[in-house]
Amino acid sequence: MGRDKIEKLWSLIENNYLASDKEALQDSFARHLEYTQSKTRYTTEAFDSYKSCAHVVRDRLMERWNDTNQTYFNDNVKRVYYLSLEFLLGRALSNALLNLGILPEMERALADFGLSHTDLSEIEPDAGLGNGGLGRLAACFLDSMATLQLPGEGYGIRYDYGIFEQKIVNGYQTELPENWLRYGYPFEIIRPEYQYTIHFYGNVSQYQDDQGSLRNDWLNTEKVMALAHDIPIPGYQNDTVNTVRLWSAKSTREFELAEFNIGDYVGAVEGKINSEIISSVLYPKDDIPAGKELRLKQEYFFVSATIQDIIRRHKVKNPSVLNMPDKVAIQLNDTHPALSIAELMRIFVDVEKIGWDKAWELCVPIFAYTNHTMMSEALELWPVDLLSNLLPRHLQIIYEINHRFLNNIRQIYPNEEDKHKRMSIVQELPQKAIRMANLAIIGSHKVNGVSHLHTELIKQKLFADFHDLWPEKFTSKTNGITQRRWLKLANPRLAGLISDTVGENWITDLYELEKLEPYAADASFGEAWQKVKLENKKDLALYIKKQNGIEVNPYSMFDIQIKRIHEYKRQLMNVLHILHLYRQIKNNPTTPIVPRTFIFSGKAAPGYYMAKLIIKLINDVALKINNDPETRDKIKVVFLANYCVSLAQQIFPAADLSEQISTAGMEASGTGNMKFTLNGALTIGTLDGANIEIKEEVGDDNIFIFGLDADQVRDLKTSGYNPLGYLNHSPELHDVLRMLVDGEFSAHKEDLYKPIIESLLYQGDNYMVIADYQSYCNCQQKVASLFQNQAMWTQKSIINTAHVGKFSSDRTIQEYADEVWGVKPVKPKIKQGRKSMK
Ligand SMILES: *Cc1c(COP(=O)(O)O)cnc(C)c1O
């Protein structure tokens, strides 16, 4: 093709842009219905309309996406890559409409066809490629990076099956596969041009090269292809559209010759398909490593494809990998992608033939590692046997990293054998295994915790030896959430009231909400605020009626605990308080009580016996209390099935009280706590994770804090905690537990809850439920009496929202960009003739 002819094509494309007025949107919508989807007036269903609408939006994202990518490429900017095995993205359509700034116009366009964008949005399945907080954090970070116009890209796995769908049957959790891609996902673009070969198994062969240096080749491997699928991540009305690139496993096109030769063509193809299971399913465990070979395969598959892609992109614009630290920052979301460090070293040393010392010097400034948990049982530990079989060369490299590291620390800390053992990447006993956290710390230039308390605890406890060696490596980055999704989209009523009162700048600068403070004591503003909450509660009440068939009173206090079901999060303590209230009413039907609706939602890992038993208990308690004429008008208990991002968006806006009651020292940060505060709920919580910082921001008078703090928990544990001792001093608690033992809630199976009693009383109550119980009940009483003063409650609610500014993920990301990644904002250059949004 001649140059002028190429120009003809590209000027046609680049000098054009799609208009977004009502008529243009309608025209696009109609075209997609017919030309993309082949629909007629007789065959169009709601899903088709959703899909057409998604395509209308996608077209408009595409222009800005290409301009953004070209700008990053042309300017050869430093980029940050956020590596995460989980992205809990939720729905894309309404978010894209909002960020493109075409939500009102789309509403008008669809209204002419008798459609509504909210109805269509709700047809979209959630992209649920994560378990909970860690995956949702990654999604909020992508949103903030795009909104801050940072050249940031997410990398992950395109699981065919995201987090399972939870159904409650007879009060028990059951799991159903979540085939979210079943009808196609309009927001992804397949990129067949980006495919990489991923190697597994095989052996390492050593040889001398021409210069006489010892070299290693990884040979006789099994191969799988990684195929890129890109999802656009639009910034808020700023022309930036970043990318999250998800890898899916595909078989290679080579045949196993043995099978092929004996004529078993179908058998050979079947063998290929087997390799594609690598990207088939997300492991549904939150905070507990799976330890399975398939999981390790997923981790390496993801890491290898990503590192190859990063190096390919780097080399297009740079003469060699030697300046990579100037152009590339890689953030490891937990240790799941920590094999990246070994993979990058392997490529530098074996493929690029760079000397070890130089390679290491390039590697460390590129990586940074985020730790997400204090619980040592949650740290990844890969048996050496597994690694030596699956990734023999990487194991050698990890040994080499460790060998050099240990040599260093033996010089710094001579005669401290125990310290060397603790800091080694290799655990020797009870079985030889690789400590992924140690690898991540040694291979990174920064290590961060996700709240002040968590960072202090990892510095002083979990990673104390490393902090001693490299104090400057450790940094604190308190988590955040995106206000675009968690207020603007989730709670349009409150967002509207806020914008009418203090303007719209809060959408990109959450500290602007401080301007609400003067209105906290304003009676008419308070009434408007209260009205919004009531309307939101009525909406949720309708949903509860529809889903659970339970009638709830929207004027009752909505007391909500929604998060993964985990013993350390202590849903059980919440239940014990409900039983306490139930007993109170039963024993004394005339005592006045503040009506409450207790709402729970959350998934348990399918193999987590205690967590599943707690779900059953909540549902049994609900059944009994909701049907007891003496109690049902005073307290109601609701378990909403299938907690996910889109359900969360419906629940947070309706909350009066946020339950953040983890055992102090165990919740690294929490982000649900921030979503509640943003939406004007008051918190009852322990001094744990980011609760402490929420307390600092909103003030002691506007939050309910109870229970032991992290130091007291530790002291009590070391001095010998005896839950039975508490029981002897509390006849009330004794009676509450008695109800469980007596089978009052488990009519057909008397000792159903025996394991709960055992764990609380005879197995040490590891999560200190008994120790905190009384303090929690007392605190709940204060909550109740404040709720009786609605004006005062509302005032505190407004103050909570007004002081939530710090917890925007925009603030978090700005800190990472400045202090960890060294990346700067880049404005996309909009092609001539296209209209910029700013
Ligand atoms: C925010 C969020 C979480 C994290 O909640 P925590 O209370 O911080 O554990 C988990 N799942 C979903 C769907 C969320 O939106």
Supply the residue whose CA is at minimum distance from atom 6 of ligand 1: 672
CA dist., res. 743 & res. 148, Å (int): 55
Amino acid 255: pLDDT: 63
CA of 70 to the centre of ligand 1 (A): 35
Amino acid 1: pLDDT: 52
> What is the biggest distance separating any 2 CA atoms in the chain, rounded to whole angstroms?
93
pLDDT (tens digit per residue) in 695-725: 999 999 999 999 999 999 999 999 999 999 9
Catalytic site includes residue 806: no
CA dist., res. 517 & res. 513, Å (int): 8
pLDDT (tens digit per residue) in 415-455: 999 999 999 999 999 999 999 999 999 999 999 999 999 99
Amino acid 273: pLDDT: 82
Supply the residue whose CA is at minimum distance from atom 15 of ligand 1: 645
Catalytic site includes residue 801: no
CA of 747 to the centre of ligand 1 (A): 33
Supply the residue whose CA is at minimum distance from atom 5 of ligand 1: 672
* Mutation pick for ligand 1 pocket among 178, 562, 674 (CB with most ligand atoms within 8 Å): 562
Closest to 779 measured CA to CA, from 729, 690, 705, 680:
705
| Residue 718 exposed, middle or buried by CB count within 10 Å (0-12, 13-18, 19+) | exposed
Supply the residue whose CA is at minimum distance from atom 4 of ligand 1: 133
Q: Is the pTM of this model over 0.75?
A: yes
Helix (H, G, I), strand (E, B) or coil at 396: helix
CA of 287 to the centre of ligand 1 (A): 13
In single-letter form, the type of residue at position 516 comes to: L
* Mutation pick for ligand 1 pocket among 163, 563, 807 (CB with most ligand atoms within 8 Å): 563
Catalytic site includes residue 569: yes
CA of 133 to the centre of ligand 1 (A): 5
Select which of 372, 446, 596, 803 is catalytic: 372
Supply the residue whose CA is at minimum distance from atom 3 of ligand 1: 133
CA dist., res. 117 & res. 585, Å (int): 45
Q: What ligand 1 atom has the least distance to the C-alpha of 481?
A: 1
Q: How many CA atoms lie within 13 A of 738 on its CB side?
A: 10
Cis peptide before 430 (omega within 30 of 0): yes
* Mutation pick for ligand 1 pocket among 166, 671, 691 (CB with most ligand atoms within 8 Å): 671
Contacts of 159 (CB under 8 A, 6+ apart): 129, 279, 280, 281, 282
Ligand 1: list residues with CB < 6 Å.
88, 132-133, 136, 563-564, 643-645, 648, 670-672, 675
CA of 490 to the centre of ligand 1 (A): 14
**Pairing relation of β-strands 328-333 and 367-370?**
parallel
CA of 131 to the centre of ligand 1 (A): 9
CA dist., res. 597 & res. 556, Å (int): 6
Amino acid 17: pLDDT: 86
Catalytic site includes residue 563: yes
Question: Regarding the domain delimited by 483-808, which CATH topology (the fold level of the hierarchy) does it fall under?
Answer: Rossmann fold (3.40.50)
Domain with CATH 3.40.50.2000 in the chain: 483-808
* Mutation pick for ligand 1 pocket among 564, 566, 657, 683 (CB with most ligand atoms within 8 Å): 564
Contacts of 541 (CB under 8 A, 6+ apart): 551, 552, 553, 554
Supply the residue whose CA is at minimum distance from atom 7 of ligand 1: 672
Amino acid 831: pLDDT: 73
CA of 168 to the centre of ligand 1 (A): 20
CA dist., res. 792 & res. 677, Å (int): 16
CA of 644 to the centre of ligand 1 (A): 8
Catalytic site includes residue 738: no
CA of 648 to the centre of ligand 1 (A): 8
Residues 71/79, Cβ–Cβ less than 8 Å: no
Residues 335/440, Cβ–Cβ less than 8 Å: yes
Select which of 32, 569, 624, 796 is catalytic: 569
CA of 336 to the centre of ligand 1 (A): 19
Helix (H, G, I), strand (E, B) or coil at 776: helix
The separation between CA 620 and the C-alpha centre of its own chain, rounded to angstroms, equals 30
CA dist., res. 557 & res. 547, Å (int): 20
Q: What ligand 1 atom has the least distance to the C-alpha of 644?
A: 13
Amino acid 459: pLDDT: 98
Select which of 636, 675, 796, 803 is catalytic: 675
Select which of 22, 60, 564, 577 is catalytic: 564
Closest to 299 measured CA to CA, from 246, 337, 346, 248:
337
CA of 643 to the centre of ligand 1 (A): 9
SS percent in the chain: helix, strand, coil, step 5? 55, 15, 30
Supply the residue whose CA is at minimum distance from atom 10 of ligand 1: 132
Low-confidence ranges of the chain (pLDDT < 70): 1, 255-260, 748, 832-834, 838
CA of 56 to the centre of ligand 1 (A): 31
Which letter does DSSP use for residue 626 in this model?
Answer: H
CA of 335 to the centre of ligand 1 (A): 20
* Mutation pick for ligand 1 pocket among 87, 88, 644 (CB with most ligand atoms within 8 Å): 88
CA dist., res. 803 & res. 674, Å (int): 11
Q: What ligand 1 atom has the least distance to the C-alpha of 133?
A: 4
Q: What ligand 1 atom has the least distance to the C-alpha of 671?
A: 8
Supply the residue whose CA is at minimum distance from atom 11 of ligand 1: 132
Select which of 78, 537, 563, 616 is catalytic: 563
CA dist., res. 602 & res. 136, Å (int): 14
Amino acid 577: pLDDT: 98
* C-beta contacts of 95-98 below 8 A and 24+ residues apart: 95/143, 95/234, 95/484, 95/485, 95/489, 96/57, 96/58, 96/61, 96/187, 96/232, 96/234, 97/57, 98/236, 98/484, 98/488, 98/489
* C-beta contacts of 10-18 below 8 A and 24+ residues apart: 14/831, 14/832, 14/833, 14/834, 15/831, 15/832, 15/833, 15/834, 16/833, 16/834, 17/63, 17/833, 17/834, 17/835, 18/59, 18/60, 18/63
CA dist., res. 466 & res. 446, Å (int): 12
* Mutation pick for ligand 1 pocket among 136, 600, 686 (CB with most ligand atoms within 8 Å): 136
Catalytic site includes residue 252: no
CA of 170 to the centre of ligand 1 (A): 25
Report the C-alpha dihedral over residues 131, 134, 136, 138, rounded to 10 degrees: -130
Select which of 478, 671, 686, 794 is catalytic: 671
